[in-house]
Amino acid sequence: MEKKFITTPIYYINDVPHLGHAYTSIAADVWARQKRGEGSEVFFLTGTDEHGAKIAQAADKSGKEPKKFADEISKKFENLTKMLNISNDAFIRTTDPRHEKYVSDFLQGLYDGGYVYKKSYEGLYCVGCEKYLTEKELVEGKCPDHDKVPEKQSEENWFFKLSEFRSKVERLIESDEIEVKPLSRKNEILGKIKQGLDDVSISRKSVEWGIPVPWDKEQTVYVWIDALLNYLSATEIFSKKDFWPPTVHVVGRDILWFHAVIWPAILLAAEKDLPKKIFVNGYFTVDGKKMSKTVGNVIDPVELVKKYGVDTVRYYVLRDFPFGEDGDVAIERLEQRLNGDLAGGLGNLVQRVLSLIKQNDLNLNSTKPQPSGKAKAIKKLTEEFKFQEALIEIWKLVADTNKQIADSEPWKLAKEGKKQELADFLQKTLHCVLEIADLVLPYLPETADEIFKQAKSLDLKPIFEKMN
Ligand code: MSP
C-alpha cells in the first residue's frame, strides 16, 4: 500500500479558532479521505503550536500559567477538528515533552554539524508575526498584518546558516522536486529567494516560554523552528517514521516562506528527505478585511457548524473559492449554497429516487457501478486540490440526474403500471446517485454516509459492502 503523509500547519494558540483555521483543515481532510478511499495508507497530522512570546503574553493577559492556558486552547482546536469531522490520525502539541526532547536533540545535531553560530542582532520585531521585519515590509512604520509598530530588539542569538542553502533550495523549487502549488506562489517564492537569503536566528534570549537551547540554557528555541519540527517529531512520537517524507504540506500563504525556504534548508542540513509538495491556500476575509479579533469580524466555525451542519460549512468554503486564492466570506452565500445546491439539488435528488424505489417496492440490481470516466476525472481534480472545480463537476451530475427525472416523469410510469420500464429507469438513476455519493464522500462525509445508509435500508446489500 502506498504511504501518504499530509499535514496542516499547527495552529497558534494565542487566538481562538476561526474559519481561516478551519479552511486549511477541511482542505487537507478532503485530500486525506480521498487517498484513503483509493487504498493509500494515510498519516494525516494536525496539532497546536504552543510556545513563544505571543502565547506567554496571551496567557498572562488571561491570568493563567502558560501551560494551563495552552492546555485549554489546544483543546479548543482539537474540538474544532472533531466538530469539522476532520479525519486526522494524530494531533501533536509542541509542549509534548517528547516533541521538546526531539527539538532539543535536533538542534544539537545542527550545532554539532557546524550550521549554527552566535551573532548579535538588532531589528524590528513584530510579536504578532513572531519575526523580525525589514523596513521595506512596513507600511507607515507599522506591520501591515498586525497594524502595530514593531519593537526594536537587540539580542545575541544563535543563527542558522540559511544563506549556504540558497542555490540548493532555489533549484529544488524551480525543478519541482519540491512542488510549490499553485504556480503563482511558486513564482512568488522564487522571486523572494532570488533577492538573497540571510542567515536566520533560531533562538531567543528574551523569550522564556520555549524549549531551552541545549548548549545555551539562557536561550530558547525560536518558535518557528520548534513548530516546523513538529512534522518530524510527530513521525517518531506516533510511530510513523516510515511515512517520511511528507507527501504534502497544506499551508496558508502567510507561512510559505517558512515552509518553502527555511524548512527545506534545515532538512538539508540534517540530511533528511524533503517534502514533495507544498500546497498554498489563500486567505479568507470578511467584507474585504482580514479576520481578526481587533476588527471584531472573526467567524466562529463552531457556531456555523451548530447552526448549519458540518457538511454545509465544508461545502461552502471549498465550493465558493478556488483553493489557493483569497476569498471574501459571506453567510448569505453559505445559506444560498445550503438551500440551493445541498437541499434543493442533492437532497432533493436523493429523496426523489429513494422514495420512488420504496413506494414501488422495486427489486433492483444492486451492484456498484464501475467508476465512469467522468468520476475518475473528478477524483483527479480532488487529488490536485482543485476542489471548486471538482464540486462544480459533481453538481453537474446532480443537475443532469435531476433533469433526467423531470424529463422522464417516472411517476407516470408508476401510475400506468409500467413496472419494468420504471425499474430500468430507477436502476440507472440509483447508480447515478451512488456514484455521486461516492464522489462527495471526501467533501461531505456525513451526507454521503446518510445516503448510503438510506439506500442500505432498501436492502440492496452488495452496493454498500464497501462502506462498512
Ligand atoms: N503556528 C503557525 C504554523 C506553524 S506550522 C509549522 C501558524 N499558525 S496560525 O494558527 O496562525 O495559522 C494556521 C493556518 O491557518 C495557516 O496556514 C494560516 O495561513 C491559516 N489561516 C489563518 N488565518 C487565515 C485566514 N483568515 N484565511 C485562511 N487561512 C488562514 O501560522
Report which residue type is found at 1.
M
Q: Ligand 1, from 10, 21, 49, 91: best to mutate by most atoms within 8 Å of Cβ?
A: 21
pLDDT over 70 (residue 468): no
Q: What is the DSSP letter of 255?
A: G
Rounded to whole angstroms, the Cα distance separating 199 from 222 reads 14
What is the tens place of the pLDDT at every residue in 49-91? 999 998 999 999 999 999 999 999 999 999 999 999 999 999 9
Q: What is the DSSP letter of 245?
A: S
371 vs 353: which has the higher pLDDT: 353
Q: Which residues line ligand 1 (CB under 6 A)?
A: 9-12, 20-21, 23-24, 49, 227-228, 230, 251-252, 254-255, 281, 283-284, 291
Which residue out of 101, 142, 205, 290 is catalytically annotated?
290
What's the pLDDT at 290?
A: 81
Kindly state the average pLDDT of the residues 257-278. 98
**Which atom from ligand 1 is nearest to the alpha carbon of 251?**
17
**Which atom from ligand 1 is nearest to the alpha carbon of 227?**
6
What three-state secondary structure class fits 466?
Answer: helix
Location of C-alpha cell 545575541: 156
How far lies 227's CA from each of 51, 102, 256, in Å?
Answer: 8, 12, 14
Is residue 21 flagged as an active site residue? Answer: yes
d(CA 255, ligand 1 centre) in Å: 7
Which residue out of 75, 168, 293, 358 is catalytically annotated?
293
Report which residue type is found at 409.
E
Rounded to whole angstroms, the Cα distance separating 216 from 205 reads 10
Is residue 249 flagged as an active site residue? Answer: no
Cell reading at 281: 491556500
Cβ–Cβ contacts within 10 Å for residue 214, how many? 16
Rounded to whole angstroms, the Cα distance separating 425 from 430 reads 9
Q: What is the DSSP letter of 273?
A: P
Location of C-alpha cell 485549554: 72
For atom 23 of ligand 1, the residue with the nearest CA is 20
d(CA 11, ligand 1 centre) in Å: 6
For atom 10 of ligand 1, the residue with the nearest CA is 11
Q: Kindly report the pTM of this predicted structure.
A: 0.93
d(CA 226, ligand 1 centre) in Å: 16
Is residue 432 flagged as an active site residue? Answer: no
d(CA 9, ligand 1 centre) in Å: 7
Rounded to whole angstroms, the Cα distance separating 94 from 52 reads 11
Is residue 64 flagged as an active site residue? Answer: no
- Relative to beta strand 289-290, strand 203-204 is unpaired
What is the tens place of the pLDDT at every residue in 422-451? 999 999 999 999 999 999 999 999 999 999
d(CA 252, ligand 1 centre) in Å: 6
Alpha helix ranges (H) inside 8-96: 19-37, 53-61, 66-83
Give me the numbers of helices (H) and strands (E) for the chain, helices first please.
20, 17
Rounded to whole angstroms, the Cα distance separating 361 from 452 reads 18
Nearest to 6 by CA among 438, 383, 447, 269: 383
Rounded to whole angstroms, the Cα distance separating 357 from 353 reads 6
Burial of 293-315, coded b for 16+ CB within 10 Å and e otherwise, reads eeeeebbebbebbeebbbbbbbb
Rounded to whole angstroms, the Cα distance separating 446 from 43 reads 21
Ramachandran area for residue 39 (φ above 0: left; ψ -120 to 50: alpha; else beta): left
Which residue out of 35, 126, 131, 186 is catalytically annotated?
126
Q: How far is CA 174 from the centre of its chain?
A: 24
d(CA 438, ligand 1 centre) in Å: 30
Let me know: does 405 contact 353? Beta carbons within 8 Å: yes
What is the tens place of the pLDDT at every residue in 273-309? 999 999 999 999 998 888 877 778 899 999 999 999 9
Alpha helix ranges (H) inside 309-347: 310-319, 331-337
Where would I find the beta strands (DSSP E) of 370-411? none
Kindly state the average pLDDT of the residues 350-362. 91
pLDDT over 90 (residue 456): no
For atom 16 of ligand 1, the residue with the nearest CA is 252
Kindly state the average pLDDT of the residues 192-209. 93
Location of C-alpha cell 443537475: 399
